[in-house]
Amino acid sequence: MSPQSMPTRRLGAAGPEVSLIGLGTMTWGEQNTPEDAFVQLDGATEAGVTLIDAAEMYPVPPRGQTQGRTEEILGDWLARRGGSEGLVIATKVTGRSTNMDWIRGGPRLDAAQIRQACEDSLRRLRLDCIDLYQVHWPERSTNFFGQLGYTPGSDDGIPIEETLQALAALQQEGKIRHIGVSNETPWGVAEYLRLAREQGLPRIVSVQNPYSLLNRSYEVGLAEFAHREDVGLLAYSPLAFGVLSGKYLDGARPEGARLTRFSRFARYTNAQAEAATRAYVALARERDLDPAQMALAYINSRPFLRSNLIGATTMHQLEANLASAALTLDSSLLEAIETIHAGQPNPAP
């Protein structure tokens, strides 16, 4: 794919244009070496990818010994390139956690920690300004990372108001351009928008949430915000950790693959998800399509999508995933996908 043929969409009314396919980075520094990352970055940007998404806690699985390495690798590449002109560099501040005390003694979304996190990311990225700075997950007790059912927490922590005010201050200082959220709920998005409206604070331009054929929960509640409030989706895990390629069916564990190396990633491997995956893979093969490309092309076709964040550990995977931007699914195939979804909706939220 050439840069000219890569579609773009705008983040919010006042946000930047971003490529339909964005590049995720969370394997860099763990599964991928810096040299691997440089090859991926060169290949993706040559194909027209402009959005590159990182996070201060990357790579994953998160460890104190590697935290921040992904941003450092990206920063090294940007320095070699001569800067970030023509690109949209996104990263994230880590949400509240009791399991990552190597990040500021336990990350929180208060003003002091957000400022420190942003300045540390700028240093690692070797940038003066971050194009899109996102809250990685909420401070409060709510549903994210596959949680079902809502149980109110006894301590909701730092209010969204303080978080957004801190982000606004960084924007006024020219350290960030746009603000986004991640792993958010409809209530959280509504609260960010309410505070922006009532207090004259910056509006969020994007929501980075999981979205795939195995998890379409974004469609319930959040898709309407994308339509009515122009806060669109940055889809992560569009291949459900590679599960939708079919490579893990029947218990297969390819050498070096993520689910082979890291048993903690079990979100998309329950029995219901495997059954749905089998059906989607069979459908793709019936139509002489690569299952991963079909799964990505479905995400690309959604009107609320702004960018589809692909990740890869090899250039072969990356090139195949990039090619999904040129694939259009016909109406009969879309109907067949909906039939599978109706029979097994959201098996891996």
Report the catalytic residues: 58
SS3 annotation, 156-212: CCCCHHHHHHHHHHHHHCCCEEEEEEECCCHHHHHHHHHHHHHHCCCCEEEEEEECE
SS3 3: helix
b/e 48-69 (16+ beta carbons within 10 angstroms → b): bbbbbbbbbbbbbebeeebbbb
Amino acid at 128: D
Distance, in Å, from the CA atom of 144 to the CA atom of 252, rounded to the nearest integer, reads 28
Pairing of strands 21-24, 305-310: parallel
Cis? peptide before 61, omega within 30° of 0? yes
Burial class of residue 77, CB neighbours in 10 A (0-12, 13-18, 19+):
buried
Amino acid at 197: R
Distance, in Å, from the CA atom of 91 to the CA atom of 53, rounded to the nearest integer, reads 6
Please report which helix (H) or strand (E) contains residue 21, including its range.
Answer: strand 21-24
